[in-house]
Amino acid sequence: MNKGTGSLVEVEDLNVHFPIRHGVVISRYIGDVRAVDGVSFDIKRGETLGLVGESGCGKTTTGRAILRLVEPTSGRILFEGNDIAQMPRKDLRRMRRRMQMVFQDPYSSLNPRQNVANIVAEPLRVHGIAEGREAEKRVRELLEVVGLPKDSQNRYPHEFSGGQRQRIGLARSLALNPDLIVADEPVSALDVSIQAQIINLLEELQDTFDLTYLFIAHDLAVVRHISDRVAVMYLGKIMEIAPSAHLYERPLHPYTKALLSAVPIPDPKVERTRERILLRGDLPSSVDPPGGCRFHTRCPWAQRERCPDEVPELRVLDSGHLGACHYAEDIEAGRITTRTLDDAVVVAS
Amino acid sequence: MALLSVTDLEVKFFTRRATVHAVRGVSFDLEPGQTLGIVGESGCGKSVTSLAMLGILPRAGRVTGGEVRFEGHNLLELRDARLRDVRGKDIAMVFQDPMTSLNPSLKIGRQITEVLTKHLKMDKDSSEREAVELLGRVGIPNARDRLDDYPHQFSGGMRQRVMIAMAIACHPKILIADEPTTALDVTIQAQILDLLRRLVEEEGMALILITHDLGVVAGVCERTNVMYAGRFVETAPTGELFARPRHPYTLGLLKSVPRLDAARKEKLDPIGGAPPELSLESPGCSFAPRCAYATQESRERIPELRALDTKDHLVACWNPVPDEDLPTRVSDEWAAG
């Protein structure tokens, strides 16, 4: 499998809505949390697609919906052309061998009562692929691949540090030789010196096993580092998708601009001189998101026309660069400047 | 004279299983109005240091040595009542998780006015007026209406603003902020850091900012201390520290974080291994087992902080990073075109 031989995953108009019910005796339906609201993107074979956004933007739900760990409300999820969203359970199980998930918290995603050998061998048993000697051999290989010492097999999760536990989780996810790994904040719980070890390991594993990654994280520097392309989400919608270098050098969506400018850079010289876009206020609720463009209530460039009532479509702004903003070109060309109103300010520090 | 002077602070935790030597001789001075960063990874002792200074260690912890001088008094020897007076009034603290540091069953207004009536002996009316004023200053809209709200009715960022309002209520001389933005989203983090920078300037107070995030200290602090395994391993003016990290651990940290503004994608250079168990004492430098620059001496003798390059830049290392190994900085590359 070579890089760039088409899409492994195509997501089309994915919606995941969670009903909100109220009342103890009679539970009444009172609305929906629109965690994912009309999201479309594709993941090419062998690439890493980064999915970033702040808490509650729907990035985790999107990742889970792709594996059908949450049921999509509507939309299509094509894995090599087969629609996972509609697939019967029986077929889904076979399909799931080829896609695995790595979680944020290596503590709660490993069974504390199982030793490492059992944890890593479990997928092999569940899917009836290997048992006994054969499974043992495979476990030994996997532990070596993720850089765990040989004697880890008979030890239990609590005996390992956070970074090592994440390695155990990776070994387990690799057991079935998957094509796709959905990694949900895989390094967020780790200290920086350990974070780098796991990021490097993820990159090595991708090269060795031709893996395709959906890398979900809130840390933009990490996402930029590991991803080929990046999708930015806000309140259940994708705001911008672009090749990683492109997105960071020339963000075209106002939300991306604000997000990037908010990330502290470990260099006092840069910190002193760069321009910051400080967004006023908090994230609106996804139960009752703003109409029109979801970001217009906090957007320093928002216009009175279109932004409050017309939902911007994700459209091509540049080659391979998609954005959902009515005025992206005007902002880029400087025809629209930032407002210094109550809800947003731009600070040149 | 320094506003706060910490000398050889030692903290141990006594548990049934082991004695954990969490802080192993920390010394530093804080000048009035200075912003000081303490960076380090989890378990390095950065939070414990600040808790120990204010006498609020968890039960298992005990200060086993050193002194903390503030305005001529050793805080570690003050009676509880006197110390409570200092705490909250002269030295205030903001924690990572505002939900657990606010009382969930009391209205926000009541929690702020309590500080004012207790420390400043204000009456009910003036303390309420002051509370509204404070909430306004930290950027809470419609402050008057929000006095009757409970903490759960505020978002994470707003709760942290409430905490900051309480902290500055008595115009403290020192504000200690322990990972104040770690639980927040990045756009909210930017708001809170901006607020802290502004308040430090307006109030003329000194700030001790404790964080694991090198980016956060780079943007806020004049001086930065790097902590590893219970000790300060390097301390310098922030610009100098980032430009010329002399301790291999500092260099390692800088090289292991991906930078948003990196000119090109480079493989990260992680620090191998993991931090040591703090229940074990080591005869030499605690970083030696993970260090590429370690010598025989590093394994045998504990290095003291000593001046290198300038008298402001102190490093605890037997074999500091030589010039040729320093990273070329992105900002310099940009400057060079």
Same domain, B76 and B48: yes
Number of structural domains (chain A) is 1
Same domain, B177 and B281: no
pLDDT band at B264 (very low <50, low <70, confident <90, very high): low
Helix, strand, or coil here: B51?
Answer: helix
Count other C-beta atoms under 10 Å from residue A35's C-beta: 24
Asked if A346 reaches chain B (Cβ–Cβ under 8 Å), the answer is no
CB nearest to B190's CB, from A262, A268, A269: A262
Asked if A328 reaches chain B (Cβ–Cβ under 8 Å), the answer is no
Q: What is the mean pLDDT of chain A?
A: 90
Helix, strand, or coil here: A71?
Answer: coil
Q: Does the pLDDT at position B125 exceed 70?
A: yes
Report pLDDT for A138: 94
Asked if residue A104 is part of any domain, the answer here is: no
Number of structural domains (chain B) is 2
| Minimum mean pLDDT range among A47-51, A307-311, B96-100, B279-283 | B96-100
Asked if residue A162 is part of any domain, the answer here is: no
Same domain, B135 and B193: yes
Amino acid residing at B262:
A
pLDDT digits (tens, 9 = 90+) for A273-324: 888 888 877 888 888 889 999 999 999 999 989 999 999 999 999 888 999 9
Structural contact between residues B184 and A237, judged by C-beta atoms closer than 8 angstroms: no
Dihedrals phi, psi of B323, to nearest 5 degrees: -50, -45
pLDDT digits (tens, 9 = 90+) for A80-123: 999 999 999 889 988 989 999 998 877 788 999 999 999 999 99
Q: What is the DSSP letter of A98?
A: T
Amino acid residing at A180:
L
Q: Which is nearest to A197 in space by CA: B163, B268, B7, B230? A: B268
Task: Please give the structure tokens belonging to residue B145.
Answer: 């209406």
Arithmetic mean of pLDDT, B284-305: 95
Q: Which is nearest to B321 in space by CA: B236, B243, B225, B248? A: B248
Report pLDDT for A5: 61
CA angle, A255 then A260 then A263, to 5°:
130
pLDDT band at B334 (very low <50, low <70, confident <90, very high): very low
pLDDT digits (tens, 9 = 90+) for A52-68: 999 889 999 999 999 99
pLDDT band at B285 (very low <50, low <70, confident <90, very high): very high
Helix, strand, or coil here: A193?
Answer: helix
Q: Give the distance from residue A48's alpha carbon to the nearest chain B alpha carbon, in angstroms.
A: 14
Report pLDDT for A348: 40
What single string gives the DSSP state of each residue in A125-188?
HHTTS--HHHHHHHHHHHHHHTT--GGGGGS-GGGS-HHHHHHHHHHHHHTT--SEEEEESTTT
Task: Please give the structure tokens belonging to residue B137.
Answer: 């200053």
Helix, strand, or coil here: B4?
Answer: strand
> End-to-end CA distance of chain A, in Å?
48
Q: Which is nearest to B117 in space by CA: B130, B132, B127, B129? A: B127
Structural contact between residues B196 and B216, judged by C-beta atoms closer than 8 angstroms: no
Indicate the pTM of the whole model: 0.90
Same domain, B202 and B240: no
Helices (H), B121-267: 124-137, 143-146, 156-168, 186-203, 214-220, 238-243, 248-256
Walk across the sheet containing A229-234 and list its strands: A99-102, A180-184, A212-217, A48-52, A229-234, A237-243, A321-323, A315-318
- Burial (Cβ within 10 Å: 0-12, 13-18, ≥19) of residue B288: buried
Report pLDDT for A193: 86
Domain boundary among B221, B249, B270: B221
Between these two residues, B202 and A2, which has the higher pLDDT value? B202
- CA B201 → CA A265, B33, B219, distances in Å? 22, 8, 14
Task: Please give the structure tokens belonging to residue A79.
Answer: 């894995």
Count other C-beta atoms under 10 Å from residue A194's C-beta: 24
Q: Does the pLDDT at position B333 exceed 80?
A: no
Asked if A250 reaches chain B (Cβ–Cβ under 8 Å), the answer is no
Asked if residue A157 is part of any domain, the answer here is: no
Same domain, B182 and B258: no
| Minimum mean pLDDT range among A99-103, B169-173, B308-312, B324-328 | B324-328
Asked if residue A255 is part of any domain, the answer here is: yes
State which residues form the domain around A326.
7-98+178-348
Give the span between the Cα atoms of A192 and B252, in whole angstroms.
Answer: 10
Q: Which is nearest to A146 in space by CA: A121, A175, A125? A: A175
Q: Which is nearest to A66 in space by CA: A90, A32, A46, A41? A: A41
Q: Is B330 within 8 Å of A270 when comparing Cβ atoms?
A: yes
Chain B residues closer than 8 Å to A218 by CB: 185-186
Same domain, B202 and B94: yes
| Minimum mean pLDDT range among A96-105, A226-235, B34-43, B297-306 | A96-105
Q: What is the DSSP letter of A28?
A: E
Give the span between the Cα atoms of B301 and B152, in whole angstroms.
Answer: 51
Give the span between the Cα atoms of A290 and A306, in whole angstroms.
Answer: 13
Q: Say which residues have a Cβ less than 8 Å from residue A144's Cβ, sequence separation at least 6.
A: A150
Residue written as token pair 């909100």:
A20
Amino acid residing at B186:
V
pLDDT band at A223 (very low <50, low <70, confident <90, very high): very high
Q: Give the distance from residue B81's alpha carbon to the nearest chain A alpha carbon, in angstroms.
A: 38
Report pLDDT for B329: 57
Q: The domain spanning residue B25 has which CATH number?
A: 3.40.50.300
Q: Does the pLDDT at position B331 exceed 50?
A: no
CB nearest to A278's CB, from B191, B259, B260: B191
Give the span between the Cα atoms of A62 and B27, in whole angstroms.
Answer: 49
pLDDT digits (tens, 9 = 90+) for A152-180: 999 999 999 889 999 999 999 999 999 99
CB nearest to B187's CB, from A54, A197, A267: A54
Report pLDDT for B99: 76
Asked if residue A15 is part of any domain, the answer here is: yes
Same domain, B101 and B247: no
Kindly provide the residue ranges of all beta strands, DSSP E only, lying in B278-330, ordered along the sequence: 306-308, 310-315
Could you tell me which residues are beta bridge partners of residue A237? A234
A277-286: string of b/e by CB count within 10 Å (b at 16+)?
bbbbbbbbeb
Helix, strand, or coil here: B179?
Answer: coil
Domain boundary among B221, B239, B255: B221
pLDDT band at A338 (very low <50, low <70, confident <90, very high): confident
Q: Does the pLDDT at position B51 exceed 60?
A: yes
Chain B residues closer than 8 Å to A225 by CB: 258, 262, 265, 268
Q: Does the pLDDT at position B327 exceed 90?
A: no
Q: Does the pLDDT at position B165 exceed 90?
A: yes
- CA A71 → CA A49, A66, A75, A85, distances in Å? 22, 9, 11, 8
Q: Is B41 within 8 Å of A260 when comparing Cβ atoms?
A: no
Chain length of chain A: 349
Asked if residue A1 is part of any domain, the answer here is: no
Asked if residue A131 is part of any domain, the answer here is: no
Q: Give the distance from residue A193's alpha carbon to the nearest chain B alpha carbon, in angstroms.
A: 5
Dihedrals phi, psi of B120, to nearest 5 degrees: -105, 0
Same domain, B257 and B313: yes
Arithmetic mean of pLDDT, A208-230: 95
Same domain, B279 and B144: no
Structural contact between residues B155 and A282, judged by C-beta atoms closer than 8 angstroms: yes
Q: What is the DSSP letter of A347?
A: E
What torsion, rounded to 10 degrees, do the Cα atoms A112, A114, A119, A122 define? Answer: -130
Structural contact between residues B245 and B40, judged by C-beta atoms closer than 8 angstroms: no
Domain boundary among B198, B221, B244: B221
State which residues form the domain around B296.
228-336
Same domain, B159 and B199: yes
Q: Does the pLDDT at position B187 exceed 70?
A: yes
Give the span between the Cα atoms of A163 and A157, in whole angstroms.
Answer: 11
- Burial (Cβ within 10 Å: 0-12, 13-18, ≥19) of residue B326: middle
Report pLDDT for B337: 36
Report pLDDT for A132: 87
Q: Does the pLDDT at position A3 exceed 80?
A: no
Q: The domain spanning residue A52 has which CATH number?
A: 3.40.50.300
Residue written as token pair 């390991």:
A201
pLDDT band at B332 (very low <50, low <70, confident <90, very high): low
Residue of B35, B228, B261 for testing the chain A interface, max A β-carbons within 10 Å: B261
Residue A15: its H or E element: strand A7-22
CB nearest to B186's CB, from A194, A197, A263: A263
Same domain, B281 and B182: no
Q: Is A271 within 8 Å of B215 when comparing Cβ atoms?
A: yes
Structural contact between residues A196 and B269, judged by C-beta atoms closer than 8 angstroms: yes
Report pLDDT for B263: 67
Arithmetic mean of pLDDT, A69-79: 95
CA-nearest residue of chain A to B259?
A221
Asked if residue A159 is part of any domain, the answer here is: no
Task: Please give the structure tokens belonging to residue B42.
Answer: 């989890």
Report pLDDT for A70: 94
Dihedrals phi, psi of A165, to nearest 5 degrees: -65, -35
CA-nearest residue of chain A to B265?
A225
Q: Does the pLDDT at position B335 exceed 50?
A: no
Give the span between the Cα atoms of A281 and A239, in whole angstroms.
Answer: 19
Q: Which is nearest to A49 in space by CA: A311, A320, A310, A295? A: A320
Helix, strand, or coil here: A51?
Answer: strand
pLDDT digits (tens, 9 = 90+) for B81-121: 899 989 989 999 999 877 788 999 999 999 999 999 989 99
Same domain, B163 and B15: yes
